Amino acid sequence: MYKVVLCRALHPNAMARLAGRRDIELTVLTDAFRGPPMERELAATIGDADGIMVGLERVQEALLATAPRLRVISRFGVGYDTIDIPACTRRDVVVGVVNGANDLSVAEHALMLMLALARRTVEYDQSVRAGTWMIQHGRRMHELAGRHVLVIGYGRIGPRAARLCKAFDMQVMVRDPAFPVPRIAADGYEPVVDVMEALPRADVVTLHCPLSAATRGMVGGDFLAAMKPTAWLINTARGPLVEEAALVAALREERIEAAGLDVLVREPPDLESPLLAMPNVVLSPHNAAAPLECYEKMSLRAVANLLEYFDGKLDPGYVVNPEALRRNA
C-alpha cells in the first residue's frame, strides 16, 4: 500500500484514476483548486507518505527529513524553483513535473496580455462601465502585426508563444543559449545571441525561462534601459525574473510604455504595490495555466507521475532529477 498526499484536489478525471487504485491510500489536504501554499498542513501529514503532489508549496531539506519513506514528488506545474532538487536527489526522492501539459495555455495567456496592452482592453472596459465611454487621454492603441517581439526562453512554452506571435504577423526574435542558432533559424525566427543588442529593436519582450540563480533579476535597470520607450514587457514565467523596483521606475519615468504580468515577486502582492495603481500595467493572478482544459491535462499528468513511478515505468522526460530515478529503478 502506497500512501499519497495531495496538497489539493485535482480534476475529477485525475481523482478517478487515483480512486481506481486499490494500492493507494490517499490524503487530500484541501478541495480548493487555488489558494495559499499548504506547507504547514503538508508538514503535519508527510511523515509516512510514499508520494506527494505539491503546487507552490516549498519542499526543503527540513521537510524532507520528516518523511523517511518519501520517494516521489509530483509538482503541479513545470517550474520547480520551490523544491530543493539537490536535497531530493541526495535522498533518492524523484521529482516529476507536468511537461507539455500547460504549454499552450501559458502561451495563449502571453498573447492575451499583449493584446490587452495593445488595445488598452482593461482601461476601456473600465471607461465604458463608468459611463465615460471613450478615453480621450493616455496611450494610443496599437496593432500587433509588424511589431518586433523578443521571446526569451525557447524550451516548451517559448516555441508556442513564438508561433502565436508569428500568426499575428509579428516579427519574432528568439533568445535561448540552450538552443543552437541554426535550430531557431530553421523554425523561421531570428536568433538572438546578445540580448542587450536586440532590446533596442524589440517592441515587445516576453519571458518564458525558468527561475534560477542565472535568471533571477535578469530584467533589471540595465535591461530596461536598453528597451524602447514604446516597448512592453510580458512576464508569464516567474516574478523574480524581474526586479520590480526597476520596473516600476521604468514605467513611471516612461522609459518603457507598459507591462503585462501574470507573476509577481510577492504573490499575492502587497496592496500598496505601485504596480496595482498603474493604468499601463495589466495584471493577472498567476493563472495562465488555470483554464479548465489545462487544469485537466496538468492534473492527469501530475497523477500519472505518481502512479507510473510506483509501477516502475515513469518516463525520465517528466523527471527533474533522473539520477534519482535511475537509482530507484
Which amino acid, one-letter code, is at 154?
Answer: Y
Catalytic residue numbers? 238, 267, 286
CA separation for the pair 222, 225 (Å, rounded): 5
Contact 87, 61 (CB under 8 A): yes
Contact predicate 98/77, CB 8 Å:
yes
As a whole number of angstroms, the distance between CA 55 and CA 295 comes to 12
Asked whether 84 and 67 are in contact (CB, 8 A), the reply is: no
Distance CA 235, CA 206 (A): 6
Q: How far is 286 from 266, CA to CA, in rounded Å?
A: 11
CB–CB of 7/38 below 8 Å? Answer: yes
